Amino acid sequence: MSLVSRDPVLLTPGPLTTSLQTKSAMMRDWGSWDASFNAVTAKIRKQLLDIISGHETHVCVPMQGSGTFSVEAAVNTLVPRNGHMLVLINGAYGKRLARLVEMMRRKVTVFETAEDVPTTAQDVERLLAADKSITHVGLIHCETSTGILNPLADIAEVVAHHRRGLIIDAMSSFGALEINAQKIPFDAVIAASGKCIEGPPGMGFVLARKEVLEKCAGNSLSLSLDLYDQWVYMEKTTQWRFTPPTHIVVAFHEALNQFFAEGGQPARLARYTQNYETLMAGMTELGLTQFLKREIQAPIIVTINAPADAKYNFKDFYERVRDKGFILYPGKLTQAETFRVGCIGAIGQAEMRSAVNAVRDTLDEMGIRRGSKD
């Protein structure tokens, strides 16, 4: 895939570089209650369930706002007010999830590992066996702050064995890594438009187990983030409760059409994997290393150790790379100096090779010797 656009290439975890077709879909105005727009919403809801093979067990509830809005809606609605959630943390987004649970006045227990250490099924087994009051487990599938991949299938099996509910934050993984509702038991998986489906940001969605959601009336402490009410209203009227982001919804539908035309999740993963391998081959030539071990690295976003040179300054480095047409992301680690490079979006190996060249030229301009602070 090669990007046909003069826009900067967004090598970030979202927003992402989108295709020209997706951008063009936002050029038309829509009435939020009009039947033609409602049909688009209905098609999106079906397509998202197609991705997880979830039509028999789950329902799709789209929500206005960023992905975090949908995470908060899921916690607010699916976890009873007397519920108790175990949140598994190895990065910033796990910490955010724990904060959400606490702010929603639910009891929360956290289990935190280092930023380069996945949570294991054995960890979860031990924690659930020790505390019978835990009703739900919250897992970040791919922790965006590093790109670490947590073992979803193994953890889901343990949670199901203990008859607890599993809520998955799949912001960075949905559409690229397989999540199959027929193979993996979960109460909800949460993602957003501006990630691996390659739509614009502004809309999230929750794919919730129907038999669980049906029992959640009155759980939410928020009107706008009440997932149950949003679902019931959509089922009854085909409309959104409150004004939807119409242009974003339609562009997301266009992105979904392209997703399936490309070959769906397996094809998306293959392209992102090629992007990752191209990126790291180039970075290795420059003497730069990735923060994570390859066996726990998802091909979504890569944390790169900063050059081991006193001349390195991220702000200067970022601006110089940006001037060459590529937007990077700052590191989000507490202990190591890093920067992050996304492998996702409507880009391919040509863009990744050009990005490596931009980094090489920038390092030369800054007089930085090759190598990483690791």
DSSP string, 118-143: ---HHHHHHHHHH-TT--EEEEESEE
Q: What are the per-10-residue average pLDDT scores of the chain (374 residues)?
A: 66 94 96 96 98 98 97 98 98 96 97 96 98 98 95 98 98 98 98 98 98 98 97 97 98 98 98 98 96 96 93 95 95 80 97 97 92 60
- Longest CA–CA span in the chain (Å) reads 63
pLDDT tens digits along 132-185: 999 999 999 999 999 999 999 999 999 999 999 999 999 999 999 999 999 999
CA 250/CA 86 separation, integer angstroms: 36
CB-based contacts of 261: which residues, under 8 Å, 6+ apart? none
Provide the pLDDT for residue 121: 98
Provide the pLDDT for residue 5: 52
DSSP state at residue 60: E
Provide the pLDDT for residue 81: 97
pLDDT tens digits along 261-281: 999 999 999 999 999 999 999
Provide the pLDDT for residue 3: 45
Closest C-alpha among 310, 318, 328 to residue 17: 328
CA distances from 58 to 40, 135, 181 (A): 19, 19, 8
Assessment of whether the complete model's pTM goes beyond 0.75 = yes
CA 159/CA 153 separation, integer angstroms: 10
Sketch out the chain's domains with CATH numbers.
9-14+264-365 (3.90.1150.10), 22-261 (3.40.640.10)
CB-based contacts of 32: which residues, under 8 Å, 6+ apart? 239, 240, 243, 244, 246
Amino acid identity for residue 191 in this structure: A
What is the chain's length? Answer: 374
